Amino acid sequence: MPPKQPTPTPPAREATAPPPAGNSPTAVPTDVHILWINAGLSCDGDSVSVTAATLPSIEDVVLQGLPGLPKVHMHNPVLATEVGEEFLAPFRAAARGELGAPYVLVVEGSIPNEKVKAEGYWAGWGEDLETRQPILTCDWIDQLAPGAVAVIAIGTCAAYGGIHAMAGNPTGCMGLADYLGWEWRSAAGLPVINVPGCPVQPDNFMETVTYLLYQVAGMAPMIPLDSMLRPTWLFGKTVHEGCDRAGYYEQSDFASEYGSPKCLVRLGCWGPVVNCNVPKRGWMDGVGGCPNVGGICMACTMPGFPDKFMPFMDEPPGSSVSIAMGAPYGRIIRTLRGFTNASGNRETKWRHRGDRLTTGYQETVTTSN
Ligand code: SF4
Ligand code: SF4
């Protein structure tokens, strides 16, 4: 089927967005829309994941539970009660430049770039009201990204291509920054903001959105991003640096089967070289976090995922070097700590056993003149 690239056409209904006209951000907007497209190549796992956020929750943000935030209008197809043209109305209005308030564009799923694939198209959303043909996901992005105050790629698929972009895939899909350009800037001067994860850790995403909403409201400085466009405070440390099991690694005490509380590196954990805060943050409301609860880290937040980390569940090649180098140290330290631990588990010698418990207290007799 030849690629069909119709242009978004006027909606059946007008968006309910308030004035002023146009999409331009006002100095301090009273309203901000979140236009969330999940029509990349994805499983909708990021939309589902974000429903578990608590710091802050979706409800906190859309019900104005956070002081200083503008009123937020969330348009997510998994969460919306509207369907069809009623749901699409704000997207069509924004594409025409008539939404009437600033918007943040959230893109979920890798980008099926038909410009590099002549065979056909892979994903679309809504239909052209004249031709009744699907509107390509890429066309929506082309129409909506330039007018957005910020564009967020949610999940590893949207950020870097993810599973769908692995070697041998037929779609030619890619991450959003690969599609728009790593030098691309939004209407407010921001690059694409990547919040990777497969799926995204819910609070990581909601925290990033909240930061951007405060930035749009003029209450936060430019969001700090690393060279892969990730928020630095979320992705600056490795899994290993926050892992509950790192003490076992340091003592060269490794699990050889699942169910063990020990370090999982020999079972295929990539934590020492992966940027992710999940073991520290947990998954839902502080609970969980892959290695913490017995699962290897398979590097799902990383731009090189999945190809560079396969086959999953094999010991990472580089870990054998660090394990071999650390083994003598680990064994000696573990033995010495065992002695100290055993000693520390006994009460001190001066607490004598016998028919009278003594504490070492020496009564001093004072004489007064
Ligand atoms: S389980 Fe993984 S992240 Fe945790 S200590 Fe071992 S190698 Fe590091
Ligand atoms: S710990 Fe590893 S597998 Fe788990 S979310 Fe982070 S990067 Fe992904």
The number of the ligand nearest the C-alpha atom of 197 reads: 2
Distance CA 95, CA 146 (A): 9
Q: Which ligand is nearest to the CA of 268?
A: 1
The yes/no answer on whether domain 237-340 falls in CATH 3.30.1540.20 is no
pLDDT at 358: 67
What's residue 11's pLDDT? 35
> Which residue's CA lies nearest to atom 2 of ligand 2?
297
CB 137 within 8 A of CB 123: yes
The identity of residue 227, as a single letter, is S
Ligand 2: residues with CB < 6 A are 197, 239, 274, 276, 278-279, 290, 297-301
| pTM greater than 0.85 | yes
C-alpha angle 59/60/65, rounded to 5°?
A: 130
Nearest residue by C-alpha to atom 7 in ligand 1: 265
Whether 239 lines ligand 1, by a CB cut-off of 6 Å, is: yes
The pLDDT assigned to 369 comes to 61
Over residues 57-113, the pLDDT tens digits come to 999 999 999 999 999 999 999 999 999 999 999 999 999 999 999 999 999 999 988
Q: How far apart are CA 357 and CA 350, in angstroms?
A: 10
Q: Enumerate the domain spans of the chain.
A: 31-233, 237-340
CB of 29 closer than 8 Å to CB of 102: yes
**Phi, psi angle pair for 143, to nearest 5°:** -80, -35
* Ligand 1 midpoint to CA 323 (Å): 12
Give the DSSP letter of residue 254.
Answer: B
* Block residue for tokens 């799926």: 199
Task: Name every residue whose Cβ is closer than 8 Å to that of residue 47 and which is 6 or more positions away in sequence.
Answer: 36, 38, 76, 77, 78, 79, 108
**CATH tag, 31-233:** 3.40.50.700
Give the Cβ contact number of residue 83 at 10 Å: 9
Name the residue with the closest Cα to ligand 1, atom 6: 263
Residue-level pLDDT at 368: 66
Ligand 1 site-directed mutation target among 258, 277, 297, 302, most atoms within 8 Å of CB: 297
Q: Is 152 a pocket residue for ligand 1 (Cβ < 6 Å)?
A: no
pLDDT at 348 (0 to 100): 75
Pick out the chain residues at pLDDT < 50: 1-22, 24-26
Q: Ligand 1: which atom is nearest the Cα of residue 272? A: 8
pLDDT at 5 (0 to 100): 42
pLDDT tens digits for range 159-191: 999 999 999 888 889 999 999 999 999 999 999
pLDDT of residue 294: 95
